[in-house]
Structure 1
Amino acid sequence: MDGSRNGIRDRVHRLVLPVIAALGTVALLGGCTNGASPSPTRAGPAEAGPRRATNELQEDYQKVIKDVLPSVVQIETASGLGSGIVYDDKGHVVTNAHVVGRARDFKVTASTGSGALKAKLVATYPEQDLAVVRLDQVPAGLKTAKLGDSSKVEVGHIVLAMGSPLGLSSSVTQGIVSAVGRTVSESQEGGGTGATIANMVQTSAAINPGNSGGALVNLDSEVIGVPTLAAADPELGDTAPGIGFAIPVSTVKRIADQIIKDGRVTDSGRAALGITGRTLLDDTFTPVGVAVVETVEGGAAEEAGIRVQDVITKLGDTGITTITSLAEALAAYQPGDKVRTTYLRDGSERTAEVTLGEI
């Protein structure tokens, strides 16, 4: 995690997507005419219902913030900062792998006012951009986050994002779940891990530098995801407003539980082809497939007869043009799945049924 050009120590970890922002004109309408002040009005019966509903929603927000914010911490390394969530009462804190970077020791600040706490890395798993650190001492009042159920997350649900954007600890933004089931590939620029992550939750809640590793929370005070990425608009050269992505809580649980139990991830649940590849370009510099640079001995590709210098062009019915598109296609499968793989060898198209391995 590197320092930003603006002096902010946690850089934006952007996902570059073909997102085009629509810039509209906003008309600001005054509440009075010719400088005259509007007369005070009293809410009639028709207005009482909406106002009551607004007050109730505001109370819901305040309750969620009171319930969850004590479980959200700021994580600081020698090179930057991010956020984390308190995973259990033993002082384990879950965050993004790109937040911890190469660091092994951290300063963790909770919203309970206990001051900076020392913590050490348990393990990092860049393949899913997740990591676990552990506090040297667990202070009184530190609250464990309540984790939700990914299968119950639906488009339109109201959510709050909590973390330390721009170093402003205990900050909260609001939005909705915009989509579920997104497969997203991180950039490796700015300290990103380059991971391809399946089933991400897309949200309109603002995710800014420093929010990474924090909490995406529903109105039941449950953490449903870990904010990780903000989409970037190639037209503007900056983040695309209102398009952020969070790792689903189901993935967080699976990875964190293994790290806490075994000190590493023993069962990724991620399918692998068992190759090292590179994107192949044609004479017009257009990507046309993934050239196999190396195969894992006894791996899925080698067992299916795929060799070095073969060019993979399709996985199942999905066309493959780049190494990223291959990773995204693999994210839809499980280890052990059989998939028809199309490839070129000496200019001739071939196919093979590959039994996928595991990362």
Structure 2
Amino acid sequence: MSDDTSATGPSGETPQPQDPAPTGPAPTGPAPAGPVPAGPAPTGPAPTGPVPATPATATTPATQPASTGRAWLIAGLATAAALILIAGGFIAGTVTTVALSSGSSGACNAVSVADRVLPSIVTINVAGPTGAGSGSGQVISSDGYILTNNHVISPAASGGTLSVRFSDGHTADATLTGRDPKTDLAVIKVSNEKSLSVIDVGDSHSLVVGEPVVALGAPLGLSSTVTAGIVSALGRTVPVPSDDDRNAILVGAIQTDASINPGNSGGALVDCSGRLVGVNTAIATVPGDNGQRSTGSVGIGFAVPQAMAMPIAHELIDTGTVSYPTAGVDAVPIPHAVAQHYGVSDGLFVQAVTRGGPAADAGIRPGDIITSINGSPAVSIDVLTAIQVTSQPGDEVKVEYERGGQRHTTTVTLAEG
């Protein structure tokens, strides 16, 4: 677990402890795996391995962003061992395919929704030093701002090109406005475009399980694709690979059985009135024979709820970044085998605390082992990330930790990041 005092990144693998102080173990060993985002679709032949999860930054589409290889992360989905993939896509083709289903009892009229929403949905093509691929997005303002996933655009974040294909087939260059690896969201902008169709924004708070929804985007690079389904569940917490070997956390994610595949990442999940309720981000896959995994939709997809996505989008437009509260602590997970060897508890080894910061003020020191945060076992940095993206400066966090074999409890008051 680590917050803004340490580097964040997209790979989904957990950093290893580094030379801990004598007061605690020096954890080493393989980093735990975790869920992966469903990212952009790589340009080129469709890969035979796992599909990218969210970021579009690698060259191999397997549970990673729009084309970079990411680690598979295990998602606890009911009784099945499912793997979360970035909803990326393959084959940045020029064919426009619209899969429409007629309205029926208990389902959206997908023809009507497609007619209303598709003009605001775009295919995003990305190329950069770390790879190339394609994903999806939606126009959220008439002056050209487009909301998508961070993993879709991350290959071009440090130098590269972004272009957007609109539903009528015309293309335009785009620039990066800002991105937030913690929530896997990003905003890009096209200029000199007139009469852009803007997606209507709904209310994800009003969603109920079983409600029909429609997903729109560019799976496998197939622009203007529409699929329909229902809200399968609400309030999921899903970690997906992000920048710098860290995870993004989809907090309160919407689970849907509307077909979502690589390339759908960043696209819209809408209600039957065509209003945005979520940003499609990740999909689950299941293990197969000989270690092979399915790479397409198995009816378990995840979307960032509109109530979280739109405020972050506006903050990115206003400032280019998103600020989060900090605990002022840098910590890394202790592998279970290492904890057993040293006879200490599983948890997060505190490598450093910010002088005069919240953790230091609460009595936490380097070498301590944090065992729980707000009652949740602290076995992953995802626990802290989830606290950050759902909290405000001034919020109090209950922390249990171990020092010299003794258990302690303290309260950390989060500060401005």
Q: What TM-score do the two structures reach when normalised by structure 2? A: 0.70
- Go from structure 1 to structure 2 and tell me whether the alpha carbon gap of 1:156 and 1:259 turns closer, same or farther (over 3 Å shift): same
Contact persistence 1:288–1:322 (CA under 8 A): no
Q: Identify the residue that residue 182 of structure 2 maps to in structure 1.
A: 127
Contact persistence 1:118–1:137 (CA under 8 A): no
The structure whose residues are more often strand, as a share, is 1
Q: Identify the residue that residue 263 of structure 1 maps to in structure 2.
A: 320
The answer to which of 194-203 and 4-13 deviates more is 4-13
* Structure 1 residue 185 corresponds to structure 2 residue 244: no
Distance 2:313 2:338 in 1: 44
Distance 1:55 1:310 in 2: 58
**Deviations along 1:95-139, whole A, 9 cap, x unmatched?**
1010001415311000023x2211111111111111111102214
- Name structure 2 gaps, 5 residues minimum: 1-39, 65-71, 82-101
Q: Identify the residue that residue 203 of structure 1 maps to in structure 2.
A: 256
Q: Identify the residue that residue 336 of structure 1 maps to in structure 2.
A: 394
Q: How many residues align?
A: 323
2:140 to 83, 87, 90: 87
RMSD: 2.9
> SS of 2:307's equivalent?
helix
Distance 1:59 1:181 in 2: 22
Q: Identify the residue that residue 229 of structure 2 maps to in structure 1.
A: 175
**Deviations along 1:78-101, whole A, 9 cap, x unmatched?**
111100100100011111010001
Q: Identify the residue that residue 7 of structure 1 maps to in structure 2.
A: 46
* Structure 1 residue 321 corresponds to structure 2 residue 383: no
Higher relative contact order (CA 8 A, sep 6+): 2
- Go from structure 1 to structure 2 and tell me whether the alpha carbon gap of 1:55 and 1:184 turns closer, same or farther (over 3 Å shift): closer
Distance 1:15 1:4 in 2: 24
- 2:315 maps to amino acid: Q
- 2:407 maps to amino acid: E
**Deviations along 1:122-169, whole A, 9 cap, x unmatched?**
1111111111111022144x3000011121111111011100000000
1:71 to 117, 120, 127: 120
Contact persistence 2:41–2:219 (CA under 8 A): no
Distance 2:140 2:412 in 1: 38
Q: Identify the residue that residue 161 of structure 2 maps to in structure 1.
A: 105
* Structure 1 residue 96 corresponds to structure 2 residue 149: yes
After TM superposition, list the pairs within 5 Å mapping 1:141-152 onto structure 2: 142-152=196-206
> SS of 1:288's equivalent?
coil
> SS of 1:238's equivalent?
coil
2:269 to 207, 211, 216: 216
- 1:218 maps to amino acid: D
- Go from structure 1 to structure 2 and tell me whether the alpha carbon gap of 1:328 and 1:132 turns closer, same or farther (over 3 Å shift): closer
Distance 1:161 1:5 in 2: 24
- 2:197 maps to amino acid: K
Percent identical pairs in the alignment equals: 37
> SS of 2:411's equivalent?
strand
Distance 1:58 1:310 in 2: 53
Q: Identify the residue that residue 294 of structure 2 maps to in structure 1.
A: 238
1:116 to 171, 179, 186: 171
Contact persistence 2:106–2:212 (CA under 8 A): no
**Deviations along 1:283-339, whole A, 9 cap, x unmatched?**
467781011112233332122111111110011222222223443455554432222
Distance 2:407 2:254 in 1: 37
- Go from structure 1 to structure 2 and tell me whether the alpha carbon gap of 1:5 and 1:283 turns closer, same or farther (over 3 Å shift): farther
Q: Identify the residue that residue 288 of structure 1 maps to in structure 2.
A: 346
- Name structure 1 gaps, 5 residues minimum: 23-52
> SS of 1:205's equivalent?
coil
Q: Larger Cα Rg: Structure 1 or Structure 2?
A: 1
After TM superposition, list the pairs within 5 Å mapping 1:33-72 onto structure 2: 60-72=109-121
Distance 1:158 1:72 in 2: 19
